[in-house]
Structure 1
Amino acid sequence: MDNKNFTQSYNNGSRNLGRLIMQLRRLERQPHTFGDAGPLTPSEIHTIDAIGSEGNVLMSELAGRLGITKGAVTQLVARLEAKELVIRSPHPTDSRGIMISLTEKGKHANAAHEEVHLEFYSQLRNQLSEQEIQIFETCIAKLNSFLQK
């Protein structure tokens, strides 16, 4: 690839990546409804997703899963608790530990969120070939890895 083609490719890629970031930021600001949970911000539904339906998770572990501080997790959990989507309980053997789990309403919101993701991938599969989907997923993984540095 010569310099002219490289520069053009770089400019197109840079513009498209910038547009994608702006779209993601726009989506991050808009609450969405998942099941009967009412409107939830992306940070709230992703916290529910990180807790998962399988059982209890420590507050500190949840902070690690989300890559945020314990203080930020405490604020998110308080909001979700007020919406009756999660419950806090003491750790059975560590008096300092707080366990978080989903209520039935939280589990329904989590399932509705999973459905949104399944619908997204279904629509994606209608527009892309299997090879394009594999390339897309590889690129997303590499971009995530690059941005975590």
Structure 2
Amino acid sequence: MDKKMYTQSDNNHSGSRNLGRLIMQLRRLERQPHSFGTAGPLTPSEIHTVEAIGFEGGVLMSELAGRLGITKGAVTQLIARLEAKELVTRSPHPNDSRAIVISLTETGREANAAHEEVHRRFYDQLRSQLSEQEIEIFERCIEKLNVFLQQ
């Protein structure tokens, strides 16, 4: 019985340690700018803002803040940087003079597509290392982790 408790405790410690390493690795990656298409180097917050705007046409600044989970002021700063890099445009809302619509430029759409391709290639490489059962378990764990972190 003592051995079983030790093993369970050891497994919990190992899982906790591995999760900590994963978080540290993700933080390290989140600090590094990367190039996507012809857009030049973009910080993770910049490319994730481009991703949140998406291909659908345009998004209101307030809606973008909600998608990213940040303040409208922070979105305004990000949009100013992306506008300077010619990745987005601002335009007045056709029906609400107080609202601003943000859209991707052609370069912004190219950066978004390149970013999606990076994610697709990464996931394809990861899937090639796992069995079908491991993939299913991994995907369920990621879903649960996301729900847990949103609480």
TM-score (structure 1 length as normaliser) = 0.97
Deviation at 1:144, TM superposition (A): 1.2
Counterpart selection for 1:19 from 14, 18, 21: 21
Deviation at 1:5, TM superposition (A): 1.8
Match of 1:117?
119
Deviation at 1:54, TM superposition (A): 1.4
Match of 1:99?
101
Code of the aligned partner of 2:144: K
Match of 2:58?
56
Secondary structure of the 1:53 match is coil
Number of matched residues? 149
Code of the aligned partner of 2:111: A
Deviation at 1:114, TM superposition (A): 0.7
Distance between the aligned counterparts of 1:68 and 1:134, measured in 2? 31
Structure 1 runs not aligned, ≥5 long:
none
Deviation at 1:27, TM superposition (A): 0.2
Mapping of 1:131-142 within 5 angstroms?
131-142=133-144
Which 10-residue stretch deviates more, 130-139 or 26-35?
130-139
TM-score (structure 2 length as normaliser) = 0.96
Code of the aligned partner of 1:22: M
Secondary structure of the 2:125 match is helix
Deviation at 1:88, TM superposition (A): 0.3
Code of the aligned partner of 1:113: H
Counterpart selection for 1:66 from 55, 65, 68: 68
Q: What is the root-mean-square deviation of aligned Cα atoms in Å?
A: 1.0
Distance between the aligned counterparts of 1:38 and 1:103, measured in 2? 14
Distance between the aligned counterparts of 2:141 and 2:11, measured in 1? 16
Counterpart selection for 2:10 from 8, 11, 19: 8
Identity level (%): 77
Runs of 4+ in 1 over 6 A off after TM superposition: none
Match of 2:30?
28
Deviation at 1:118, TM superposition (A): 0.9
Match of 1:89?
91
Distance between the aligned counterparts of 2:98 and 2:122, measured in 1? 40
Distance between the aligned counterparts of 1:43 and 1:134, measured in 2? 29
